[in-house]
Every structure is written in C-alpha cells, then in structure tokens.
Chains A and B, each alone.
Chain A
C-alpha cells in the first residue's frame, strides 16, 4: 500500500466513522469543539501508523479506542488537582455503555448540536458537514465556492458560540424534539438544494452535496424514525435526486421537468422515495410541509409522460402547502401548477399578485414563469421581455444561456413589424441618457442605480415608448416602498430627469414626493435636564458630550465625528463639514478636562482599545492611546442607561431655558 493509497483509505474510513467518534467523545467531555480536536488527534495517529502497519481489521473501533484514551487523558489533566474528578475519570473509563443504542443516540445528539438554533445558518451547514459528514474545511469550501480560511473560521466560530451558550448534548422530548428535528431538516434540505440547484457558478449540479444531504437525511430517518417530516424530506430528496441525470442537457443547460427524458430517471431512487413516503403516511397526522412537497414530487414521478401529469392533484397539494408555508416561492410554484391545471390565464392571475412582492424582486424564476405563461397565451412580446429579465437576474451561467435562448425562440415567433419598428429600447435610452454631457460622476452613478433597477424589473428590451407611469409606480413600490423618504425621493427625481430627457412626461405621476414624517422627539424637560446636569456620578466624557449636544443642537453624528484638532476653544466653536458647531459656557468649562492636553484624534473616545476582531479606520483612532471613536450605538446606550429611557436626539432638540 503506497502512502497516497493509505491516506485515501484513511479519509474514507474517517468519513464513515467521524460522526460516531465525535458523538461518543462529546458525551465524555461535554464540549463538541474539544471532542473534535481529540478525534482529529486519533486521525493523526492513524495517518502515522496505518501506512506502516496496514489498516486494522476494525478501523472505526481502532480510532474510537485511541480517541477515548485521549479524552480520558484530557479529563485527568484538566482536573488533576481534584481527587474527586480523578475518580470520575476512572469511572468514565470503565463506565458501562448506556442502554439502548448509545452510538446512534450520540450521532443524533451531535446533529442537534450542529444544527442548533443559536448558530447562524451558514455555520449550521458547515458544522453539520464537518461533524456528521466528516468533510474537511477544504471540501466544504469547494462545495460552497468559498475559501478554506473563511470556512475554517465559520466552523471555529460555531464551536465557540456553542461553548459560550453551553448548549447541552441532549435528546429533547415531545414538542422540543420535533422542533430540534425540524432545525436539522432545514439544514439538510439547504445542503441538498445548494447541491441540486447551485445558486452560482458554472455547474448546475454539485452532486457531492446532494449525496451528503441524502446520506444525512437517511441517517436521520434511522435515528428519529417516528417523525413523519423526516421521512417526508427523505422522500422529497430521493425523488428530486432521481432526476439528476435527466435535468441537465449535454452542454450543462437545465432541462425542465416536462421536457426531461423520463427513461433517465433513476427508478431505484424513485422507489426509495415511495417507500419513505409510505413510512411518513403510516405515522399519520396532518401532513407537514416536507410531506406535502414530497407528495408533489411523487405525483410528478408517477406520470409516465409529461402529458400524463396530474396537474389538478399538484395544484391541490400546492394549495395545502401554501397554507403551511406561504412563502413567495411556494406561491409562485402554485401559480405555475394552476397554469397547467386551469390554463395559463388562471396561472397568470395568481402570479400577478406576486409581482409586487419585494422578496421576489430579484428572483429570476418569477419572470421565467411569467414568460412561459405569456408565451402560451400568445403574448410573445411580453414573454420575450420576461425571459430577458429572468436571464439578467440569474447568477447561473447555464441557466442564463437557456433563458436567452427562450427569449430568442419567442422573438422568432413575433411578427417582425411589431418587433422592430418601435424605436429605442429602455436599455438603449438609459445608456444614452447616462452618457450625456453635463452629468457629474456622482449624479451619473446615482441615476445609474435607479435606471438599473428599472431595467432589471421591466426588461432591457422594453420599447421606451411603452414605458408607462404604472410600470414605474409598480417598480418603485416593490423596490423602494419601504425605504426612507430621502431614498425614495432620490430615485423619483432620477426618473423625472430621465422622463424629461426622453420626452415622456408624467412618468412619475403615480409617485408622490415623500416627506420625513418621523415625529420630532419630545425634548427633555427643564427639570429633568437640571437633574441631569447636577449629577456628579457621571464621567466627564458623558457630561461634556451631552452638554455639547444640548448647547449646539448639532446632529449626534456630527458631534461624535469631531476631532480635537477641529476645536477652537477660545471662540467656542468647531469646524464640522462646511459649517460650525458652537457651544456655550457649560461645555466650555468641561472641554479642557475632557481633552486633558490631547491635541489630535477623536474628541470622544471609547474606554478601551478595540478588540483584535475590530479594525477601525486610522482616523477613528486616538494616535496616543489607540482607543477608538465612541460609536453612536454605544453613546445612545450610555445615555439610555443614565436617563432610563431617553434618546440622544431628545437632548439635541434645542431647548434653551
């Protein structure tokens, strides 16, 4: 056996055994990060010994034995001083295995930990692949098109969070079990989807990830066999995976379900999907979202040809799913199913309700589905615009090419007169508008942002002459409906300017100018102010800052941005942007104390130097002490602490007494 062979063998064994080993160790040391380190130590021993001695007969048991020895050593070392703990370690070493299926339960507990709700989703995914799948950080990084360092950091961060939150290594019961299981299901399906419909990059499928997800799902089904949703998810994944060979064409382009060669569907996986579904059904209860999605997948799998598909059944299942999971994507799929069951008009009606949903603003499948329905209704010009939009929104190269081909295919069916003789398109006009002389760089950039959104939402090839105020209003509501008035007004004036240039008056007629309606905060009353000024327990920084805010009436941000070198103590004023911030005697008395001889750097500083994870800009650091500029959040917090519930803006409001 060569060294390379041995390493590949060890890697294979590790992937098969790591979950059980790390699970067993976590039960001993109560810290999943430490458990993983100990398991890695055992792996290193194997890498040293196996190439010489050959792979042992039971490699898993070998690794476990070494790792357990390390764990016992660790417990002894860590608690050497306490005799009692020593005894505990000895007991641990000879402890009888717990009853039931201890190893299996350990793996399930490990799944719960790595999918724990205290972790952000990205960390859950990485940690699950790492601990349960036995993948290296490099392998995970490759699967998610990320760097190895970033992935390693994600995993380390996850372990730290788990340790800080003292997440127990437990098997919850009842409702809590179902809750934790559903958190695992979410992670597993996320991994599957990342592999199944790679969101970016050139490969449409990343098969490694779907296989890992399937394994995780099947494993979970064995560990938690009484949860119908687990079998539902397994059924869903088995059926989706059964189509993997058929869903891409020879050049890597996507092949839609109804055009797939069903002979290439993997009947073995389909049957496994059916079996899993039966298990879910046998457990009874109202069907959950995964069971419903699996039922939809199974309805497709049961149709021998695309024409045989029972769209009525599928639309009904989506109707049930929409009630449990009213996400925009589910509603979109339901509209597609309705379009098949009850005709494109009915589908389009359901889709139109989704057009204004901000969550779907950049979701390429919405215009793709609209394009499909419009094409079937014979509305080719609109269909082509939608396919164009879909193509400009997708991040996947193969999918983009496919959508552009569909756009071209519809274009071919268009009567050429209507298609060509209608003047410039939105894209052409927007580019000429932005290229005109007399626009400065900042304006061009700002207008460019607005017009890019219009083009994405309405399609590059929309004839300029057909751009209507209704279109503009719809785009604005979807894209910027929830933004601050200033943002809304900026985009509005960009479109007004564009409309004026293009000779399209009234483009913004459906858009009202917005005013800032945030109520001005009620100023703090004189009595409360006097009480505040007379307090002696406050640090000089707070006293000065609050006085300065109050006396100057300047914006909080501007005051925090002041530097020592900006101050003119004699004239009681400081340079702030193009203007001045001025103050009166209260601040003037305090400033020298606060400065204590400093002549440069931020006026208001934090108490401590920033931690290693934070790297503020040099201009926000005091050159002498390395402390950083006081942040708005911190300043607001301190004020709230001191006053109970007041905000800094209330202090700012001029309230001269």
Chain B
C-alpha cells in the first residue's frame, strides 16, 4: 500500500543546517535503496490556484495568505502496513524537528 506524506512549512523553524541536510540525505538514500521511497520533492510556495465555478475556471498565481498551512514537501512511500508508514513518518519527524506532517493512504491508479 502507498502513503503520501505531506509536510507543512514551519514558521518557527530556521533554515535547515548542514547536519540536518546530511541526516536527511542518508535517510532518503536508505529508504530509496530499500525500495520504500517511491518519490519525494519540495514544493514551490508560489503555487497556482485554480477554482472552477459553473462554466468558469479562474486561475490565480500564489503565494497565498495562509502560507503556513501550505504543503512544503511530500514523500510517496510504498509500505507493508499502516504501522510501517507511521514508523517511517516518525523517523522523518525525528530528523526535521518541530512541525507537522499529514499522511494519507493513496488509492489507485
């Protein structure tokens, strides 16, 4: 089963230091090697918003006011169980420090 983990931008957090970068690099490398991490990436805060209403679709360029709620990064993992997903999420949070992530199971394609 697959889970998508979305991590929100943290306002209290300072820019990632070298140690964090190194730890994260190792973590990503290890999970990729284990075949668990299928895809990961960071997201540009300046997103594009599309709203459809009736026949009309409005396109607006970001950034948006509620920036701290915005997703800053994601990871798609393939795991054996919900518990395995949580365990990986725990390890990730342990490296990045204070903040918030949300995991949801992915269905399909």
- Nearest-CB distance from A236 to chain B (Å)? 14
One of A15, A208, A211 near B78 (C-beta < 8 A): A211
Residues from chain A with a CB closer than 8 A to the CB of B78 are 211
Q: Beta-carbon contacts of B13-48 to A below 8 Å, as 1s and 0s? A: 000000000000000000011111011000000000
**Which residues of the other chain, B, contact A59 by a CB distance below 8 angstroms?**
87
| Interchain CB contact under 8 A, B35 and A217 | yes
User: Are A215 and B109 in contact (CB-based, < 8 A)?
Assistant: no
Interface string of B72-100 (1 = CB under 8 A from A): 00001010111110110010001000000
Complex CA distance for A16 and B85, rounded to whole angstroms: 11
Residues of B within 8 A of A55 (CB): 90
- B54 proximal to A (CB < 8 A): no
Partner-contacting stretch, out of A5-13, A313-321, A514-522: A5-13
> Whose C-beta in chain A lies nearest to the C-beta of B31?
A16
A268 touches B38 (CB 8 A): yes
Give the docked Cα–Cα distance between A222 and B86 (Å): 24
Contact A267 B94 (CB under 8 A): no
Cα separation A214 to B94 with both chains bound (whole Å): 27
When A15-B80, A16-B84, A57-B94 are in contact, do A219 and B33 touch as well, CB less than 8 Å? yes
Contact B109 A12 (CB under 8 A): no
Main secondary structure on B side of the interface with A: mixed
* Nearest Cβ on chain A to B52's Cβ, whole angstroms: 23
User: What is the total number of residues of chain B having a CB less than 8 Å from a CB of chain A?
Assistant: 20
The answer to whether B109 touches A245 (Cβ under 8 A) is yes
Q: Which of A11, A16, A208, A265 contacts B109 (CB 8 A)?
A: A265
Say yes or no: A15-B39 contact (C-beta < 8 A), given A218-B34, A267-B109.
no
Assess whether B83 is in contact with A8, with CB atoms less than 8 Å apart: yes
- Assess whether B83 is in contact with A218, with CB atoms less than 8 Å apart: no
A264 CB within 8 Å of chain B: yes
**Residue contact A9 to B87, C-beta cutoff 8 Å:** yes
**A37 interface residue per 8 A CB criterion:** no
Please, how many angstroms separate the alpha-carbon atoms of A265 and B81 in the complex?
23
On whether A219 and B87 interact (CB within 8 A), knowing A8-B81, A57-B94, A266-B109, the answer reads: no
Name the A residues within 8 Å of B82 (CB-CB). 8
Q: Assuming the A-B contacts A57-B94, A265-B109, A266-B109, are A16 and B87 also in contact, with contact meaning beta carbons closer than 8 angstroms in the complex?
A: yes
* Contact of B33 (CB < 8 Å), options: A11, A211, A218: A218
Q: How many whole Å from A240's CB to the nearest CB in chain B?
A: 15
Q: In the complex the two chains form, is B84's CB within 8 Å of A15's CB?
A: yes
Tell me, in angstroms, the Cα distance from A5 to B82 when the chains sit together.
11
Of the listed residues B36, B39, B84, B94, the one surrounded by the most CB atoms of chain A closer than 10 A to its CB is B84
Q: Is the interface of A mostly helix, strand, loop or mixed?
A: helix
Q: Separation in Å of the B32 CB from the closest CB of chain A?
A: 8
List residues of chain B with CB within 8 A of the CB of A264: 109
A3 to B93, CA, bound (A): 23
Contacts of B87 in A (CB 8 A): 9, 12-13, 16, 59
Determine whether A27 belongs to the interface, using a CB cutoff of 8 Å to chain B: no
Q: How far is the CB of B36 from chain A (nearest CB, A)?
A: 7
Counting residue pairs across A and B whose Cβ atoms lie within 8 Å, the total is: 54
Within 8 Å of chain B (Cβ to Cβ): is A496? no
Size bracket, chain A contacts: 20 to 34
Q: Smallest Cβ distance from A562 to chain B, in angstroms?
A: 60
CA distance A266 to B90 in the complex (A): 28
State A270–B82 Cα separation when bound (angstroms).
Answer: 25
Contact residues, A250-283 vs B (CB, 8 A): 263-268, 272
The docked-state distance in angstroms from the alpha carbon of A571 to that of B38 is 85
- Beta-carbon contact of A9 and B33 below 8 Å: no
Residue of A nearest to B35 (CB): A218
Least CB distance from B50 to A in Å reads 22
- Taking a contact as CB atoms under 8 Å apart, the answer to whether A211 and B83 are in contact is no
Least Cβ distance of A254 to chain B in Å? 19
A268 to B38, CA, bound (A): 8
In the complex the two chains form, what is the Cα distance from A619 to B83 in whole Å? 56
**Given A245-B108, A245-B109, A267-B109: A12 and B35 interface contact (C-beta under 8 Å):** no
Contact with B along A36-58 (1 / 0, CB 8 A): 00000000000000000001010
Cβ–Cβ contact A214 & B83, under 8 A: no
Render A51-83 as a binary contact track against B, CB cut-off 8 A, 1 for contact.
Answer: 000010101000000000000000000000000
Q: How far is it, in angstroms, between the C-alpha of A211 and the C-alpha of B87 when the chains are bound?
A: 18
Q: Mark A375-392, 1 if CB is under 8 A from B, else 0.
A: 000000000000000000
Chain A 214-228, CB-CB to B under 8 Å as 1, else 0, gives 110111001100000
With contacts A57-B94, A215-B34, A218-B33 taken as known, whether A268 is within 8 angstroms of B84 at the C-beta atoms is no
Cα–Cα distance between A530 and B67 once the two chains are bound (Å): 105
**Proximity bits, A88-120, B CB within 8 Å = 1, else 0:** 000000000000000010000000000000000
Bound-complex Cα distance A223 to B29 (A): 12
Most buried by A among B39, B86, B108, B109: B109
Cα–Cα, bound, A5→B87 (Å): 12
With known contacts A245-B108, A267-B109, A268-B39, A222–B33 Cβ distance under 8 A: yes
* B35 adjacent to A11 (CB under 8 Å): no
Name the CB-closest residue of B to A234: B35
A350 to B34, CA, bound (A): 42
Query: Which residues of chain B are within 8 angstroms of A218 by Cβ–Cβ distance?
Result: 33-35
Contacts of B34 on A, CB cut-off 8 Å?
16, 215, 218-219, 222
| A residues less than 8 Å from B108 (CB atoms) | 245
User: B36 near A215 (CB under 8 angstroms)?
Assistant: yes
For A13, the chain B residues whose CB sits under 8 A away are 87
Q: Distance (Å) between the CB of B75 and the closest chain A CB? A: 13
Pick from A211, A245, A265: contact of B80, CB below 8 A.
A211
Chain A neighbourhood of B39, CB < 8 A? 268
A214/B35 in contact, CB under 8 A? yes
Closest residue of chain B to A60 (Cβ to Cβ) is B91
Given contacts A217-B35, A265-B109, 19 further A-B contacts (CB under 8 A): A8-B81, A8-B83, A9-B83, A9-B86, A11-B81, A12-B81, A12-B84, A15-B80, A15-B84, A16-B87, A59-B87, A208-B80, A211-B80, A215-B36, A218-B35, A219-B33, A219-B35, A222-B32, A268-B39
Residues of A within 8 A of B (CB): 5, 8-9, 11-13, 15-16, 55, 57, 59, 104, 208, 211, 214-215, 217-219, 222-223, 245, 263-268, 272
Complex A-B: 10 CB contacts under 8 Å:
A9-B83, A12-B83, A15-B80, A211-B78, A215-B36, A222-B34, A245-B108, A263-B109, A267-B109, A268-B39
For the complex of A and B, 5 pairs with smallest distance between CB atoms: A218-B35, A222-B33, A12-B83, A12-B84, A215-B35
